Structure 1
């Protein structure tokens, strides 16, 4: 028998059997109470679902707004996308051209080589070490019988520029390059007005010359002077162009020349003055006598180019060159040459004094070698002569190497008296130890070319050595 469950009326508390629809005492409806409970539960569920929907909708809407803000500039409209895809299908990539109305122009990126190429108005700047290294291969020491100077390659036909006072009195000269190689040269142009000359060197034909500057340089331009000051070959000194339009007269006429503070001294004459940034030749150095050693002068290259070109195309013959030299001797106002003209040699009855002078010099030379000091023989050599520079250079080269010279014989074998000089010949023997400590014996004959100075003292201007 099924047991019936008892329930109580929520209103009066009367017991009633299960599944009763109304209370037996007060008539309260059990069905309406149950329905009210169900509607309350349903309301809670619907409220939860509604709030969840509102939260989800708010989150999605906020994310869409953020995406629209950050991607606004990159999103293309459907029309543009369709238009571009249509163009890609209709045209190959190689033939497609951007529309000036829809595609912004993009500047073409320059290559590195294009970026480095300057405009025609901008000079190409070079490193100073590169400028000096390249120029030294085309700068030469010029040797004559009694002079030493400098010069530089002017054209690829083998012509070399120098000062007129370097080669005055000579037609055939010797040129020495930076490696010590000597070449024969011939003067084919020289001026008795301007201090310039041109030498032809057949061995240099086909060699590219230095580049020339054909306009005036400015004050403050950094410059490099090349040459052989005091016989120190291939020397470079750096300074500035400190003045323009300096004009004066000596033996030659110097018009509108450059004033520089780069060190220039005897032996530098005829060397090139280079622009310190471009390496172009802007001047021809002239070692003029001045009380201030910080001041030197250089003839502007652009003012002499036409004259030099004329000589290069139509060289002077030997007669014309010689006649110009004679003019120098007649009207010399340049101190160096005036002194040399006065230094005539008249010792026809003084051979003993000459012999003693050379023997004394040889003894002083041995002392100079032992002490590595040029001062022991300097006053017996003619200043600014070939012998002066060669002796100074040699003593400088062997300095500090520990070489030993022991002279065992020095005999005067002959004296040739000439009008303006004497040639004293000697036979010499000496023991020599080189830097490696190895000993050897040398026998030599030498010719000493001797002149007198304005005080009547003997001076050696050239030494010829025969092994």
Structure 2
């Protein structure tokens, strides 16, 4: 006869077969920490422009996103500023953002906002494995469909180097050589991400812990550079690179 206490112990050790069981609750927790990243230019026909996605980290004043989301040069003569959109629809608030640091190698940028802190996401330290299911939330088409975050999900289909060896001398550009000398691993997902998803957090559907940052532009110039018609494959930068940057902030 099996004792009730033993059954209780066994049940606590068994994980649910589907990680989607807690996804609706996790999305509700994640959304307040996911923000739109864009610019404001008072002289533009469209003063407010969403360029990508970001998410709150650290003490609630820092925003992580992709480096390529932030313009390389702001039009200072027109008072162009980097801004953050937090919240949904008409209830969204706009924050002025300061660029704290930019990392072109891993395509990560850190912004800082003033005022009351926003809810920050927890960065995971778990080992990611191929076949695991994850979700990501962001603004795939900017504000075209309104300022409402969208969630996608998929598995880690491959853990792969950012670059592949060149096929011939013509592909051995200075940039390619540097990347071959300093390769690093990225996650490949079988979920479709759109331009506005750049900077979206990739997270565990059960815990909400972030394991990566969605990125496509950087990888298309390296991993998929030989493709004339890139596939719908989505890549993400492992969170350890973001964590390394955060530890070096003043």
Which of 54, 59, 83 aligns to 1:151? It is 54
State how far apart, in whole Å, the 1-side matches of 2:151 and 2:60 are: 26
Corresponding position: 1:169 with 2:81: no
Corresponding position: 1:127 with 2:22: yes
Which of 229, 245, 249 aligns to 1:307? It is 245
Larger relative strand fraction: 2
Shift of 1:194: 2.2
1:240 aligned residue? 155
1:256 aligned residue? 185
State how far apart, in whole Å, the 2-side matches of 1:305 and 1:260 are: 21
Shift of 1:116: 7.4
Partner-residue secondary structure (3-state), 1:194: coil
State how far apart, in whole Å, the 2-side matches of 1:204 and 1:218 are: 37
State how far apart, in whole Å, the 2-side matches of 1:229 and 1:310 are: 30
CA 1:284–1:115: 2 relative to 1, 3 Å: same
Partner-residue secondary structure (3-state), 1:303: helix
Shift of 1:227: 1.1
Partner-residue secondary structure (3-state), 1:203: coil
Partner-residue secondary structure (3-state), 1:134: helix
State how far apart, in whole Å, the 2-side matches of 1:293 and 1:265 are: 12
State how far apart, in whole Å, the 2-side matches of 1:302 and 1:236 are: 22
- How many pairs does the alignment contain? 201
Length-normalised TM-score, structure 2: 0.69
- Deviations, residues 48-67 of structure 1 (Å, cap 9, x unaligned): xxxxxxxxxxxxxxxxxxxx
Corresponding position: 1:200 with 2:138: no
Moved over 4 A (4+): 107-110, 114-119
Partner-residue secondary structure (3-state), 1:128: helix
Contact 2:136 2:201 in 1 (8 A): yes
State how far apart, in whole Å, the 2-side matches of 1:203 and 1:133 are: 23
State how far apart, in whole Å, the 1-side matches of 2:214 and 2:245 are: 17
Corresponding position: 1:225 with 2:139: no
Partner-residue secondary structure (3-state), 1:224: strand
CA 1:142–1:116: 2 relative to 1, 3 Å: farther
Superposition map of 1:421-440 within 5 A:
none
- Deviations, residues 92-132 of structure 1 (Å, cap 9, x unaligned): xxxxxxxxxxxxxxx7858x8x887669x99xx66111111
State how far apart, in whole Å, the 2-side matches of 1:280 and 1:238 are: 14
Length-normalised TM-score, structure 1: 0.39
- Deviations, residues 365-402 of structure 1 (Å, cap 9, x unaligned): xxxxxxxxxxxxxxxxxxxxxxxxxxxxxxxxxxxxxx
State how far apart, in whole Å, the 1-side matches of 2:126 and 2:62 are: 21
Larger relative helix fraction: 1
Shift of 1:195: 0.3
Compare CA radii of gyration and give the structure with the larger one.
1
Partner-residue secondary structure (3-state), 1:136: helix
CA 1:245–1:178: 2 relative to 1, 3 Å: same
Contact 2:60 2:120 in 1 (8 A): no
Contact 1:246 1:259 in 2 (8 A): no
Shift of 1:136: 1.0
Shift of 1:202: 1.9
Shift of 1:159: 0.7
Structure 2 portions without partners, runs of 5+: 41-48, 75-79, 164-174
**Higher RCO structure, 1 or 2 (CA under 8 Å, sep 6+):** 2
Superposition map of 1:413-424 within 5 A:
none
